[in-house]
Chain A
Amino acid sequence: MLEVRNLSVAYGGLRALTDVSLTVAEGQFVTVVGPNGAGKSTLFKAICGIVPPLQGSISFRGIDLRARAPSERAHLGIAHVPEGRQVFKTLTVRENLEMGAYTKTGRAQWRHTLERIHALFPILHERAYQLAGTLSGGEQQMVAVGRGLASAPKLLMLDEPSMGLAPAVADMIFERISQIHREDGVTILLVEQRVAEALELSDHGYVLETGHVVLDGPYETLLADDRVRRSYLGLTGA
């Protein structure tokens, strides 16, 4: 469904990604993990079109994304849950979700999707008319994920949903994401720092370090590989 080939990106004058390739097949749950500064967010932003690639290609269902404006991706069926949640602080929870459903597909299935979101995150129903900026971090993350779902997407992309959240809350978020994958059959691309949680849920994982893919494979292989830990804690290389 999503194919990234030989992607190289420079961001803020620095080489953030070099020759990165990954594939997400329909119905899969793919994770990209790696320590801070590895380029995970840059990868996310490049797929979203916020950051232009130097080289390489990104295609979604055969459509070359490089030729499309960033705001078109949602209409193609890609939903983004960005790093740091990025909720619309001055809009209510309900309005945030409505913005998620801005696309035609989103609007068509709005009733059904809204019910589903409320089933997954009951608190969003309770606080429907509260300003999103006044919610806690975990609640905002739920809004962000709900917003992503609201467009009834084919591919849901999440960038570090656990960041800044207490472990228990992060676990809950991961559970929901897993639920969404299993029950609604949404294809998922998750970029995360929390290795085990992320890898466990996924079918396939990629490990990024300083802009390169250093490891990839099905999750059991990765979990057993000590190189992951060494990569995170700086014990690789010199």
Chain B
Amino acid sequence: MRQGAGPRLRRDLIALAAIAAAYLAVSAFVSNSYYQLILTMVPIWAVFGVSWNILSGYGGQVSFGHASFFGIGAYTVTLALIYGDLTPWLGIPLGMLVAAVAAVLIGLPTFRLRGHYFALAMLAYPLAILYVLQYLGFQEMSLPMHRAHPVAYLAFTDPHWYTVTAIGLLIAGTLACMLVENSRFGLALLAIRQNELAAEAAGLNSRLWKMRALVVSGMIAAAAGGLYACVLLVVTPDSVFGMLVSAQAVVVTLFGGVATVWGPIIGAAILVPLAESLNATLGNYLPGIQGVVYGGAIVVIMLAAPEGLYWTIRDRWFRRALPPPAPLVAATPAPRPSAARSAGPLLEVAGLSRSFGGLRAVSEVSFSVAEGEILGIIGPNGAGKTTLFNVLNGVLAADAGSATLAGQSMLGRKVHQVCRMGVARTFQVVRSFPRLPLLDNVIVGAYGAGLPDHTAVDAAVGALARVGLYRQAGTLAGQLSNKQLRLMELARGLAGRPRLLLLDETLAGLGRDECDEVLDVLARLRDDGVTVVIIEHTMHAMMRIADRFLVLDHGRVLASGLPREVVENRSVIEAYLGKKWLARQNA
């Protein structure tokens, strides 16, 4: 569980219980069966939205084809009932199982895609299933009635009970979502959604997390579909696998609020009754009014409040005072890692090369870094510095050469694997989770290193202490200053207890004083025995902090050595100021 999850969960659970109780109370008074049906459908669509939310809201993997799982749930229940006389109480879990298998089968090939391709590909699955079903002749299927023991077969004579069951399902689904949100699962998904590369660099195996999200999502969707079949008593391929079904998951969540447990509930509570009642009253004159409502809702929301109603309202009207920093007394800063120096250099790079087409971005670069040293990599624009980091980090493959960390090769591994070896990397553009407290932003690094929950908190707190942000642990990241964000990045890297830090332009854009503060932090880290390789342009800062310089130009090593020497080096001056300058000075 994440830090601070306890009170948040309690609060949310109470709210959920209250809402459910109120809803059931209202439902008890409704005698009209059509309205009761609407009351039943709201939670069912809400649960469907919850399922979509997990993959696409928290995880950011937008799927246009969740109808696959919904339909699988519906058809499993129906077919099991018709052919196996299996009660839906068991049929629904069975459907969830089938959906889980389907999720793995779908996810394996499809997660190789990103972004809009992923969304479109997910779209193809339910439609393909739809066509196959139509071909196989599964047109309209009715669920057989069981007059003898209706309740045992999830068939109620009094429609109120459908609503109760649906609310029960909603509670279960929302609970699952709350558990996800408050655990490292949720943070991992948010990190992946925020910036998949940075998440990988922090050690998260994004493929695995995405697959987990898809499986959970699929199972919940199937449950919703199964209950849907029981309520309507009729399934057709189009009504459960069709495009409108997939769209409803998207609309309901997007409208209500992505990445929050309340989003789908709000969205369903507003849109489903609206669409249904418009359909009932105007449906004869305007037969497509439901679709228009849903479509209009998405368009309006994307233009006016792209993250959904929940966030817009919360951000605008409930701008809370900073929550006091969570009591961190229990967690003490991590003990300093012993400065046990190994015999040889920590990082050894030899003959590293990487080209893009004909352009040699990194060419035969060799250098070594001793443990506890700060190496500054400098060079004019376009010299290949970031490319070098990308190769070391696993983002790019090397064309030639070697790179070893304490003797083990860093090359040929995936980004998160390199991170697990003990390498942390920051990026030029800092991305935070603005709505989450600083501690949650930092703890991702600890999760990535594979630390269990309790140790992860300690590691994160310790990291914050080392960068001097201990007291801001509870501050929402969106309220941090630039300098603090940079330090946050640093802390995130440190939370994984790395041996080597790769920092990419950490000081860019900071004013003089802020620069000094960050430099002090780096100096302390060096004293603790952390090895740092830093790319920077701010020369005066580098002069102060780096033990040695490595100068790159056009992908090659131009010079290396003590800072004072390097800046007096002719070829370095030439690289920065030009040949003519040098000629003039010597003339």
Contacts and interface: CB of A to CB of B under 8 A. Distances in A.
Q: Do chains A and B touch in the complex (CB under 8 A)?
A: yes
Contact of B584 (A15, A196, A232): A196
A190 B482 CA distance: 31
Interface stretch (A66-74, A107-115, A163-171, A178-186): A163-171
Contacts of A166: 554
Interface in B412-430: none
Interface in A133-166: 136-137, 160, 163-164, 166
Contacts of A62: none
Contacts of B511: 15
Interface of A: 12-16, 35-37, 136-137, 160, 163-164, 166-167, 193-198, 200, 223, 228-229, 232-238
B541 A234 contact: yes
Interface stretch (B196-204, B206-214, B299-307, B574-582): B574-582
B313 interface: no
Contacts, number: 86
Contact of A163 (B382, B510, B540): B382
B203 to A, nearest CB: 27
Nearest to A16: B509
Nearest to B581: A196
B539 A194 contact: no
9 contacts: A13-B509, A36-B380, A164-B381, A196-B580, A196-B584, A198-B578, A229-B577, A232-B539, A237-B540
A137 B359 CA distance: 9
A193 B540 CA distance: 17
A223 B581 CA distance: 8
B498 to A, nearest CB: 27
A238 B544 contact: yes
Contacts of B581: 194-196, 223, 229
A36 B573 CA distance: 14
A14 B482 contact: yes
> 7 closest pairs, A vs B, by CB?
A234-B539, A14-B509, A196-B580, A196-B581, A194-B578, A36-B537, A234-B540
B485 to A, nearest CB: 9
B584 A223 contact: yes
A194 B583 CA distance: 13
A120 B199 CA distance: 49
Contacts of B540: 234-238
Interface of B: 358-359, 380-382, 482, 508-512, 516, 537-544, 554, 567, 573, 576-585
Nearest to B381: A163
A222 B543 CA distance: 24
A233 B580 contact: no
Contacts of A14: 482, 508-510
A193 B511 CA distance: 22
A14 B542 CA distance: 20
Contacts of B508: 14, 37
Contacts of A160: 381
B576 A35 contact: yes
A108 B37 CA distance: 71
Contacts of B554: 164, 166
Contacts of A136: 358
B381 A195 contact: no
A232 B544 contact: no
A194 B381 CA distance: 11
Main secondary structure of the interface of B (DSSP, over half): helix
A229 B586 CA distance: 14
A160 B381 CA distance: 10
B380 A193 contact: yes
B381 A235 contact: no
Given A35-B537, A37-B537, A193-B381, A234 B542 contact: yes
B189 to A, nearest CB: 26
A223 B587 CA distance: 12
Contacts of A233: 539, 567, 573, 576
A234 B544 CA distance: 10
A166 to B, nearest CB: 7
Given A36-B380, A36-B381, A160-B381, A194 B544 contact: no
A37 B584 contact: no
B509 A12 contact: yes
Nearest to B382: A164
A85 to B, nearest CB: 11
Nearest to A12: B509
A167 B582 CA distance: 13
A228 B252 CA distance: 61
User: Taking each of A37, A137, A167, A193, which has the highest tally of chain B beta carbons within 10 Å of its own beta carbon?
Assistant: A37
Nearest to B482: A13
A73 to B, nearest CB: 25
For A15, A198, A234, A238, the residue with the greatest tally of chain B CB atoms inside 10 Å of its CB is A234
Given A14-B509, A195-B577, 4 more contacts: A16-B509, A196-B584, A235-B567, A237-B540
B217 to A, nearest CB: 35
Nearest to B359: A137
Nearest to B510: A14
Contacts of A228: 577
A37 B538 contact: yes
Contacts of B541: 234
A120 B501 CA distance: 48
A207 to B, nearest CB: 12
B509 A167 contact: no
A229 B574 CA distance: 11
Contacts of A13: 482, 509
Nearest to A223: B584
A13 B577 CA distance: 29
Nearest to B539: A234
A232 B576 contact: yes
B543 to A, nearest CB: 5
A220 B524 CA distance: 45
Contact of A197 (B542, B543, B576, B578): B578
